[in-house]
Structure 1
Amino acid sequence: MKVLFDNCTSPMYASTLHGFVSHYGHSAVHIRDLAELPKGRSSTDLEWIDHLRSSGLVWSFISGDGRVLKNAAERAALRSAGLHGFILAPGYQKTPHNQVVSNLLWHWPEMQRLTEILAAPSMHEVPMKRTTKLRSLPL
């Protein structure tokens, strides 16, 4: 599985998660480092969603912006792309980077399990508390 971090997340999150998941045959990349996108980091949500859909690989994404679910065109694109998405809870906006990455690593086994047992598309919120389960979001 490959994981894309969008513009609403720090590139540090992708590189840190990649260091952990690469040992399991997975990879994580930030949108700024995805060379195949013609506009790079300036790509719109619709453009990177379409790129993931057409790549032929199994992708998930992590976003810090839940508004991706409020735009009808983006929601339709996410549904048709067949992606597993993870939205960081609003509390992450004011959380130090080391704690965000720590929580992502803490929740990674559950995130991976959900991508294995649920048919795409699916969307979940990554909670702030480590003891709280991921919450399913309507797509």
Structure 2
Amino acid sequence: MNRFNVFFDHNCPPAMARMMAGFLSSEKPQPRSVALSDVMDRRATDVEWISWVRDQPGDWIVATENHRILRVPDERRAFMAAGLRMLVMPKSVLSLPHEKRCALILWQWPRITRTMSEFDPPLAFQMSPKREGKLRQIGL
């Protein structure tokens, strides 16, 4: 059973959130899958959307293709203070069409949720570019 809602930031196509919503639609209770553009202007800063996710009920995984977010001081501080879980797509798959990136998330979703459940936030993991690969923890 999945207990995580998923937030896709502005670096991910909104179609990824729709795909995940369909995938999660059979879960009871149904987790939310939200694209940034569903809840605020796509030009919102990372600090603004991090605050939005922090204020939402439930446990969240933030999915991003932004590899700099944890290196920008204000964004890193906001992420740490919000106590979130982050899933970063590997750079090696960013040139793939979004449907292939979506498929990679779906293939690894049971491992992602199991791993995210084992640790207290804040935490960040990078997905493997391979279907059977392991998640790599990103040092905070």
Assess same fold via TM > 0.5.
yes
Structure 1 segments, 4+ long, off by >3 Å, are none
Structure 2: gaps of 5 or more residues: none
Q: 1:6 — aligned with what? A: 9
> 1:14-51: per-residue Cα shift (whole Å, max 9, x none)?
100110112222121110012xx4xx211100001011
Structure 1: gaps of 5 or more residues: none
Q: 2:104 — aligned with what? A: 103
Which amino acid in 1 is paired with 2:56?
S
Paired positions, count? 135
Q: 2:130 — aligned with what? A: 129
Structure number with higher helix proportion: 1
> 1:95-132: per-residue Cα shift (whole Å, max 9, x none)?
12221111010011111112222111110001211121
Residues 104, 131 of structure 2: 8 Å contact kept: yes
SS in 1 for 2:25: helix
Give, in whole Å, the separation in 1 of the partners of 2:14 and 2:108.
Answer: 18
- Percent identity of equivalent pairs: 30
Which amino acid in 2 is paired with 1:5?
F
**Could you state the TM-score of these two structures normalised by the residue count of structure 2?**
0.90
Which amino acid in 2 is paired with 1:81?
A
Which amino acid in 2 is paired with 1:135?
R
Residues 125, 135 of structure 2: 8 Å contact kept: yes
**Could you state the TM-score of these two structures normalised by the residue count of structure 1?**
0.91
Cα RMSD of the aligned pairs, angstroms, is: 1.2
1:17 has 2:20 as partner: yes
Q: 1:52 — aligned with what? A: 53
Residues 108, 132 of structure 2: 8 Å contact kept: no
Residues 126, 137 of structure 2: 8 Å contact kept: yes
